[in-house]
């Protein structure tokens, strides 16, 4: 089982390697891939050193699986080349997500859609992943009509440059800027580019990806995505309107029994999910579970997850684990 990690030196690529190691993924050979300037350098995995190779070298080595986290343009150019070599590509960029021929997968929700013919598989947007993990079991029980979500997203979702900007601002250092404005002691209601409808690309990803992953275009979704000066993970305030009424105790029970979810909901003892709690965890945390008293059959939730792990690296590795388990590679 040869596994290539494309973008191995990046923020998500580094976490992918960490997750592969922690989950003891049964690979026999690791093939780290990065830009030409990194070729020849070494990374350490399970105590052994592995040389970083070029894209062409990696394709020639014919890995069974390639985990991609190197940006959309790189994926569009090179994922089909890996596919031609017989490799199954799991891509973390937005390049393939809305392609009708490509599966968009969150294992807890729709891994059953995968077959041996799916040689390029898309990993959804981080903010979508954590939300649909929670939506799916509730949709199965009560049928969701509409979702209103506001996100509070970590600077790590932008990358190393954004983390450096935040840290530099805290130290009073003038340095490179990932954002148009200061992020420390500030909130930016702006993630990705603005579109003609006044929404950002990130907001529209949440709308379209939710429908695709849930295989239900009848679910109406509206989103406001916001960048905040935190590091541990993304948080979301989610309002869900159902077709059928619900019992709060039953909602909690459903979520507690659902894979990949940890319920932290004890307001009497000030227990609720926070980014610090989710940091370096693979689960999605849910709390502040309460009925929306302004609308019938509506529910409010607070959802938190580590965007670099469940929102990216862990979800990709879980897809790879599923492929192995079902002998689809």
* CATH class for the domain made up of 2-123+312-325: alpha beta
Give DSSP secondary structure letters for 26-46.
Answer: --SEEEEE--GGGTT-EEEET
Position 228 confidence tier, pLDDT thresholds 50, 70, 90: very high
Q: How much is the mean pLDDT over the chain?
A: 97
Catalytic residue among 78, 139, 234, 279: 234
- Superfamily name with CATH number, domain 127-307: Dihydrodipicolinate Reductase; domain 2 (3.30.360.10)
User: Long-range contacts: 323-327, Cβ < 8 Å, 24+?
Assistant: 323/65, 323/88, 323/114, 324/1, 324/26, 326/114
Pairing of strands 88-91, 103-104: unpaired
Say how far apart CA 88 and CA 110 lie, in whole Å: 18
Task: Tell me the domain boundaries of the chain.
Answer: 2-123+312-325, 127-307
| 38-42, 80-84, 236-240: range with lowest mean pLDDT | 38-42
Torsion, Cα 154 158 159 161, to 10 degrees, reads -100
- pLDDT for position 145: 98
What would the pLDDT profile of 252-304 be if each residue is shown by its tens digit? 999 999 999 999 999 999 999 999 999 999 999 999 999 999 999 999 999 99
Is 112 annotated in the active site?
no
| Residue of 78, 126, 139, 279 with catalytic role | 126
Q: Do domains 2-123+312-325 and 127-307 have the same CATH topology?
A: no
Tell me which residue of 50, 60, 81, 107 sits closest to 283, measured CA to CA. 107
What's the whole-number mean pLDDT along residues 111-132? 98
C-alpha span between 140 and 5 (Å, rounded) = 35
Whether 139 sits among the annotated catalytic residues: the reply is no
Which pLDDT does position 174 carry in this prediction? 96
CA distance from start to end of the chain:
9
pLDDT the model gives residue 267: 97
């Amino acid at each position: 089982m040869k596994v290539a990690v494309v973008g191995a030196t990046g923020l998500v690529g580094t976490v992918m390697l960490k997750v592969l190691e922690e989950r003891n993924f049964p690979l026999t050979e690791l093939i780290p891939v990065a830009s030409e300037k990194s070729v020849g350098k070494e990374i350490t995995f399970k105590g052994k050193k592995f040389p970083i190779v070029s894209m062409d070298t990696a394709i020639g080595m014919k890995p069974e699986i390639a985990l991609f986290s190197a940006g959309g343009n790189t994926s569009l150019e090179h994922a089909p080349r890996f596919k031609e070599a017989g490799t199954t590509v799991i891509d973390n960029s937005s390049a393939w997500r809305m392609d009708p021929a490509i599966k968009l997968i969150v294992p807890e929700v729709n891994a059953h859609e995968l077959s041996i013919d799916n040689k390029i598989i898309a990993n959804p947007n981080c903010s979508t992943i954590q939300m649909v993990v929670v939506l799916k079991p509730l949709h199965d029980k009560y049928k969701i009509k509409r979702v209103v979500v506001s996100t509070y997203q970590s600077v790590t979702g932008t990358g190393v440059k954004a983390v450096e900007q935040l840290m530099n601002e805290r130290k009073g250092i003038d340095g490179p800027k990932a954002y148009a404005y200061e992020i420390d002691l500030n909130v930016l209601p702006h993630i990705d580019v603005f579109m003609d409808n006044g929404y950002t690309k990130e907001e529209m990803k949440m709308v379209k990806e939710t429908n695709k992953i849930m295989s239900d275009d009848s679910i109406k979704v509206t989103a406001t995505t916001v960048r905040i000066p935190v590091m541990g993970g993304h948080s979301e305030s989610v309002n869900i309107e159902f077709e059928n009424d619900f019992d709060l105790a039953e909602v909690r029970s459903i979520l507690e029994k659902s894979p990949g979810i940890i319920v932290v909901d004890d307001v009497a003892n000030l227990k609720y999910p926070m980014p610090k709690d989710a940091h370096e965890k693979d689960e999605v945390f849910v709390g502040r579970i309460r009925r929306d008293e302004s609308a019938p059959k509506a529910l409010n939730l607070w959802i938190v997850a580590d965007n670099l792990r469940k929102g990216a690296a862990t979800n990709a590795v879980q897809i790879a684990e599923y492929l192995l388990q079902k002998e689809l590679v």
